[in-house]
């Protein structure tokens, strides 16, 4: 059975929307979500303003779609590769290692999309802030889960302060991103990797068993 003209239009529309939201996420990582405009996107992608507007209808909807696209990219580059590793401290290390690569390799031209967008909207209540906060909570909860798993399987002592460890790991990562972007200092990533490795080895029940799996980020 051949595809109908309607099916073709739907697929083309989906491709156009995907192109718009990915370009929007790239722009927002550098210029902020407030820097998005239908005119800018139309010019960058060589489509009509009405074509862009038809997919979103408002700037806020465009901003929310850009966040959704950024989440998909984040999962692809950070989360999915790490899930191939055993749960616990090794997977926790891989998650941070992949995060460093995601920021260092400029998957988004402005470094970590969520670091920049959160700074822009952290004091501005509304749907955009709530969506960004939800994405950050999802990331934090993933790290918390891996620490709790490590405690359950004996990789880490039962009395390890889970929340404190995760707070420190996120702080190392975000500091590396910020220093790298502001000062063009690539060494921040290797320093973050070293700090995280030291912290995880210090949290491990048997560091000698864990150490071979914690190669440089």
Annotate 98-163 with DSSP letters as a single string. Answer: HHHHHHHTTSSTTS-HHHHHHHHHTT--SHHHHHHHHHHHHHHHHHHHHHHHHHHHTSS-TT--HH
What's the pLDDT score for residue 175?
A: 98
**Over 70: is that where the pLDDT of 8 sits?**
no
What's the pLDDT score for residue 88?
A: 97
Domain spans, the chain: 5-213
User: Which of the four pLDDT bands, split at 50, 70 and 90, describes residue 14?
Assistant: confident
Token pair recorded at residue 173:
């990562």
Lowest pLDDT segment from 102-106, 113-117, 160-164, 208-212: 208-212
Q: What integer is the mean pLDDT of 194-216?
A: 92
**Over 70: is that where the pLDDT of 12 sits?**
no
- Residues across the chain: 217
pLDDT digits (tens, 9 = 90+) for 20-73: 999 999 999 999 999 998 888 989 988 888 888 888 888 999 999 999 999 999
User: Which of the four pLDDT bands, split at 50, 70 and 90, describes residue 216?
Assistant: low
Q: What is the mean pLDDT of the chain?
A: 92
What's the pLDDT score for residue 48?
A: 86
What's the pLDDT score for residue 57?
A: 82
**Over 60: is that where the pLDDT of 110 sits?**
yes
d(Cα 36, Cα 41) in Å, to the nearest integer? Answer: 8
Q: What integer is the mean pLDDT of 145-164?
A: 98
HSE, side-chain direction, 13 A CA sphere, residue 39: 1
**Over 90: is that where the pLDDT of 142 sits?**
yes
Which CATH number, 2.60.120.10, 2.60.40.420, 3.10.20.30, 1.10.357.10, labels domain 5-213?
A: 1.10.357.10
**Over 70: is that where the pLDDT of 120 sits?**
yes
């Amino acid at each position: 059975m051949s595809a109908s003209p309607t099916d073709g239009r739907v697929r083309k529309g989906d491709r156009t929307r995907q192109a718009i939201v990915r370009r929007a996420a790239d722009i927002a990582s550098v210029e902020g979500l407030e820097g998005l405009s239908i005119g800018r996107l139309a010019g960058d992608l060589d489509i009509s303003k009405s074509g862009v507007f038809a997919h979103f209808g408002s700037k806020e909807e465009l901003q929310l779609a850009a966040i959704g696209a950024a989440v998909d990219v984040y999962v692809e580059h950070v989360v999915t590769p790490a899930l191939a590793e055993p749960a616990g401290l090794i997977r926790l290390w891989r998650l941070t290692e992949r995060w460093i690569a995601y920021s260092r390799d400029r998957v988004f031209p402005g470094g970590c999309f969520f670091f920049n967008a959160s700074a822009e909207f952290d004091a501005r209540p509304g749907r955009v802030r709530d969506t960004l906060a939800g994405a950050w909570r999802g990331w934090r909860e993933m790290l918390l889960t891996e620490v709790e798993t490590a405690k359950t399987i004996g990789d880490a002592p039962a009395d390890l302060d889970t929340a404190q460890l995760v707070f420190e790991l996120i702080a190392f990562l975000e500091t590396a991103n910020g220093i790298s972007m502001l000062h063009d200092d690539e060494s921040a990533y290797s320093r973050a990797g070293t700090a995280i490795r030291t912290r995880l080895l210090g949290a491990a029940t048997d560091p000698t068993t864990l150490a071979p799996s914690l190669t440089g980020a």
